[in-house]
Chains A and B, each alone.
Chain A
Amino acid sequence: EAQVTQNPRYLITVTGKKLTVTCSQNMNHEYMSWYRQDPGLGLRQIYYSMNVEVTDKGDVPEGYKVSRKEKRNFPLILESPSPNQTSLYFCASSLGAGFEQYFGPGTRLTVT
């Protein structure tokens, strides 16, 4: 089954404790992306990757890191989480930026 998986689905953590949210896709897509969704602000792109070892900033990259060492995986790293990073995070993949995006189920992160 073609899918995008994210883990964990729910995470509660404390300020400053490094965390990683994993994302994996099995569709051999080149383009992968991370978004955060906040009430009143909609979905905002954090980082995207056009292929292995090629990543670039989206609209809200501050406080986040990503890596793309393998085509199927695109982890999101928060080196020092802060309460303003409390949000619903989605990973997505597609053939390219101009194509349909397939989303993971989301990760609800709370930073206290």
Chain B
Amino acid sequence: RKEVEQDPGPFNVPEGATVAFNCTYSNSASQSFFWYRQDCRKEPKLLMSVYSSGNEDGRFTAQLNRASQYISLLIRDSKLSDSATYLCVVNNRGGYQKVTFGIGTKLQVIP
């Protein structure tokens, strides 16, 4: 089993739709979780951190489920500008200072 797994998609959704991505991780000792956004082979940029209590930033909501070992990202009212690849990131696996990225989920928002 991969350390961090994501459905690569693509997810093609109409403007205004709500879309959700999940990301599972295998190491229960993982400590930090993030969602990054990457546009077409450019550098990844932080979208949001994922806290145990969940967090929301405008149209974006991230949640962590430690019992089932997954994190989720919900995008409401999708915009054309949301089209990108969304990467989940798990840090500090088992006490090591490593960082593991998921393969990324490609989202295409269509008019």
List residues of A whose CB falls within 8 A of some B CB: 31, 33, 35, 37, 40-45, 48, 50, 56, 58-59, 88, 90, 96-101, 103-106
Interface size class of B (residues with CB under 8 A): 20 to 34
Contact partners of B43 in chain A: CB under 8 A:
90, 103-106
Decide yes or no whether B1 CB sits under 8 A from chain A: no
Decide yes or no whether B80 CB sits under 8 A from chain A: no
Complex Cα gap A105–B41 (Å): 9
> Given the known A-B contacts A40-B103, A88-B41, are A97 and B98 also in contact in the complex, defined by CB atoms under 8 Å?
yes
CB proximity of A5 to chain B, nearest CB, Å: 11
Complex Cα gap A86–B41 (Å): 15
CB proximity of A94 to chain B, nearest CB, Å: 9
Contact partners of A40 in chain B: CB under 8 A:
103
CB proximity of A53 to chain B, nearest CB, Å: 15
Do A101 and B99 touch (CB < 8 A)? Answer: yes
Contact partners of A48 in chain B: CB under 8 A:
97-99
Do B99 and A100 touch (CB < 8 A)? Answer: no
Do A42 and B87 touch (CB < 8 A)? Answer: yes
Do A97 and B92 touch (CB < 8 A)? Answer: yes
Decide yes or no whether B45 CB sits under 8 A from chain A: yes
Do A43 and B101 touch (CB < 8 A)? Answer: yes
CB proximity of B15 to chain A, nearest CB, Å: 27
CB proximity of A33 to chain B, nearest CB, Å: 6
CB proximity of A56 to chain B, nearest CB, Å: 7
> Given the known A-B contacts A101-B46, A106-B42, are A45 and B31 also in contact in the complex, defined by CB atoms under 8 Å?
no
> Given the known A-B contacts A43-B87, A97-B97, A97-B99, are A103 and B104 also in contact in the complex, defined by CB atoms under 8 Å?
no
CB proximity of A26 to chain B, nearest CB, Å: 16
Complex Cα gap A98–B42 (Å): 22
Contact partners of A98 in chain B: CB under 8 A:
31-32, 91-92
